């Protein structure tokens, strides 16, 4: 308990799945949480749960691909809690689940890039100045093992997630002397609403599930809390000398 005491954290995608679990855990560990999501109902339910359990949190509706909404969200965080120390870029979409570039619609490509890559970039762009004002901070960006190997998502998805790694490394180098750290988590298959299609009776979904399980040495998918604990470590001072790196949380896929 208390690993984030005194810190203010913005978590995107906090209305469900990995982001919601991060919000709950961060609040439990003492952070003042600014949950951000387009899913207002889900987000408010998470914030209400945090408050009912004695935590401190607010909900902010946020389209992460909008500069204006990012500026407003960060200003709300600072106005409410006085500072900003942590940004967790979790929100994202899967996009078209195809493995072949020729099947990828260009408009869908642009959508995946706008949300999965540009959205995190905008968060970093507007959060970093506030972190510097308070002596530094930690950026945790959720990418995917699809950024590191093929066959783990669509072409656009993999490209966007790989872009997050390049972005994060550059931020680590550019702002290290400002004590702003930047790291990436690369999840494998995690049980979330986004991956729920893998549990359906659709033949393609069943084949995909077996494919991913076959690639995972531990033989099962992860849970949102597995990502939340990794994010907690990278957000806390326990990782104060770690920046510019990627942490796979994948049940051993990258070792296979």
Q: Can you give the pLDDT at residue 170?
A: 98
Number of domains the chain is built from:
1
User: pLDDT tens digit string along 115-130?
Assistant: 999 999 999 999 999 9
Residue percentage of the chain with pLDDT more than 70: 95
Cα distance between residue 247 and residue 49, in whole Å: 29
- The single residue of 126, 157, 175, 212 carrying the catalytic annotation is 157
For residue 146, tell me if it sits in a domain: yes
For residue 104, which of 113, 91, 116, 115 has the smallest C-alpha distance? 113
For residue 253, tell me if it sits in a domain: no
Q: What is the pTM of this model?
A: 0.94
For residue 2, tell me if it sits in a domain: no
For residue 1, tell me if it sits in a domain: no
User: pLDDT tens digit string along 171-230?
Assistant: 999 999 999 999 999 999 898 876 766 667 677 667 777 888 878 899 999 999 999 999
Cα distance between residue 213 and residue 117, in whole Å: 27
For residue 196, tell me if it sits in a domain: yes
Q: What is the CATH number of the domain that holds 215?
A: 3.40.50.720
For residue 192, tell me if it sits in a domain: yes
Tell me the residue range of the domain where 166 lies: 8-246
Strands (E), the chain: 8-12, 32-37, 56-61, 86-89, 137-142, 180-187, 246-249
Q: Is 157 designated active site?
A: yes
For residue 252, tell me if it sits in a domain: no
For residue 251, tell me if it sits in a domain: no
């Amino acid at each position: 308990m208390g690993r984030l005491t005194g810190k203010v954290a913005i978590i995107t995608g906090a209305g469900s799945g990995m982001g919601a679990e991060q919000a709950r855990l961060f609040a439990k560990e003492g952070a003042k949480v600014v949950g951000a999501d387009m899913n207002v109902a889900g987000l408010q339910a998470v914030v209400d749960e945090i408050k009912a359990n004695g935590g401190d949190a607010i909900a902010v509706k946020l389209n992460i691909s909008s500069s204006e909404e990012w500026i407003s969200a960060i200003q709300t965080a600072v106005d409410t809690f006085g500072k900003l120390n942590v940004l967790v870029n979790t929100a994202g979409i899967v996009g078209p689940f195809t493995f072949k570039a020729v099947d990828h619609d260009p408009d869908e490509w642009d959508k995946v890039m706008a949300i999965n890559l540009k959205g995190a970039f905008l968060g970093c762009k507007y959060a970093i100045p506030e972190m510097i004002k308070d002596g530094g901070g930690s950026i945790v960006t959720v990418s995917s093992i699809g950024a590191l190997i093929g066959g783990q998502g669509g072409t656009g998805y993999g490209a966007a997630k790989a872009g997050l790694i390049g972005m994060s490394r550059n931020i680590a180098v550019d702002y290290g002397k400002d004590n702003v750290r930047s790291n990436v988590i690369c999840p494998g298959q995690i049980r979330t609403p986004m991956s729920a299609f893998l549990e359906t009776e659709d033949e393609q979904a069943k084949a995909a599930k077996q494919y991913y399980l076959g690639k995972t040495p531990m033989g099962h998918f992860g849970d949102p809390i597995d990502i939340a604990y990794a994010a907690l470590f990278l957000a806390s001072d326990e990782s104060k000398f770690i920046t510019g790196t990627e942490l796979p949380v994948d049940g051993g896929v990258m070792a296979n």
